[in-house]
Structure 1
Amino acid sequence: MRRVLMAVIALSVALVAGCDDAGASPGAKASTAPAAAAGGACQLLDFGMVNAKLGLDLSVAAGASQDNTFSCVLQASGASYPDLVLSVSSTTIGADVFSSMIQPKDATPVPGLGVVGYQMPTPAADKAGPGVEVGWLAGNKRIIELSLRFAPGTPDEKAEEAVPKVVELAKLIDLSSL
């Protein structure tokens, strides 16, 4: 199941690949449409809410859906990072299966998030900086994952500072997904 979620996230990131610095035209402007207009899991997001919670300036949204999974990527206009990725998949599993099969072993539990939730830092990768991942099993039988990734070269401390902000955003999304 985690592989399916990662594939959906990869698909979502590919959808906005044209929004990076290399592919952006000079003077490219952010959409004036709400994030929800992008479809997919973007229907659960609002630029104002996200930017207020995370202290960012995200203004471009791309949504996708495949089978029972919906995803959304938010980015700043003309930049690949930071990016916020949300994926939502319906499921029939319970908390015990989520905790043992979906939740990463090194994750920290997040009380008060869904039926069961977790948070964990994500290390910098080849073309991406550090980040944070928050995942949970919602009360409406959905597996939801929210990840924030910073630009390459961003200090790990910035990602660590973002953890409680992403958790608070996740709690708002959890309430809106009921």
Structure 2
Amino acid sequence: MRRVLLAVLALTAGLVAGCDDAGANPSAKGPTAPAADAGGACRLLDFGMVNAKLGLNLSVAAGAQQDNTFSCVLQAAGASYPDLVLSVSTTTIDKDVFGSMIQPKDATAVEGLGVTGYQMQTPATEKAGPGVEVGWLAGNKRIIELSLRLAPGTADDKAAEAVPKVVELAKLIDLSSL
């Protein structure tokens, strides 16, 4: 299941990577369009809410759907990072299966997020800076993952500072999930 989610996230990230205007991809919307217009999981996001919670200036959205998984990537116009990726998949699993099969072993539990949730920092890669991942099993039988990836060269402490902000955003998204 986690591999499917990661594959969909990679597909969605590819939709936005390098986009600097709405014309670069038919599913990407420019800085003046609401994030929800991009479709997919972007219907659960609002640029104003995201930027206020995270202290960013994200303005481009791309949404996608692959089978029962909806995803969304938000980025700043003309930049690949930071980016925010949201994926939502319907499921039949319960809390125990989520904890043993989906939640990463090194993640920390998040109280008050869905049926069960987790948070963790993610390390920088060759192409991207450090990040934050928050995942949860929503009460409406959906697996939701929200990740923020910072720009290359960003210090790990900036990702640590972002963890509570991403968790708070996740809690807002959880309240709006259908």
Normalising by the smaller structure, the TM-score range is over 0.9
Gaps of at least 5 residues in structure 1 are none
The letter of the residue matching 2:56 is: L
Partner of 2:85: 85
Query: How many angstroms apart in 1 are the aligned matches of 2:149 and 2:17?
Result: 14
Stretch of structure 1 that moved more, 10-19 or 127-136 = 10-19
- Alignment of structure 1 residues 1-178 onto 2, 5 Å: 1-19=1-19, 30-178=30-178
What whole-Å deviation, never above 9, does each CA across 1:50-96 have from its counterpart, x for those lacking one? 00000000000000001000000000000000000000000000000
Q: What SS does the corresponding residue of 1:93 show, helix, strand or coil?
A: coil
The letter of the residue matching 1:51 is: N
The letter of the residue matching 2:86 is: L
Deviation at 1:30, TM superposition (A): 4.1
Query: How many angstroms apart in 1 are the aligned matches of 2:116 and 2:5?
Result: 17
Query: How many angstroms apart in 1 are the aligned matches of 2:106 and 2:30?
Result: 37
RMSD of aligned C-alpha atoms? 1.3
Query: How many angstroms apart in 2 are the aligned matches of 1:141 and 1:30?
Result: 32
Q: What SS does the corresponding residue of 2:81 show, helix, strand or coil?
A: coil
The letter of the residue matching 1:19 is: C
TM-score, scaled relative to structure 1: 0.94
What is the number of equivalent residue pairs in this alignment? 171
TM-score, scaled relative to structure 2: 0.94
Retained in 1: the 8 A contact 2:75–2:84?
A: yes
| Identical-pair percentage | 85
The letter of the residue matching 2:93 is: I
The letter of the residue matching 2:160 is: E
Gaps of at least 5 residues in structure 2 are none
Query: How many angstroms apart in 2 are the aligned matches of 1:112 and 1:75?
Result: 28
The letter of the residue matching 2:34 is: P
Query: How many angstroms apart in 2 are the aligned matches of 1:125 and 1:2?
Result: 19
Deviation at 1:18, TM superposition (A): 2.9
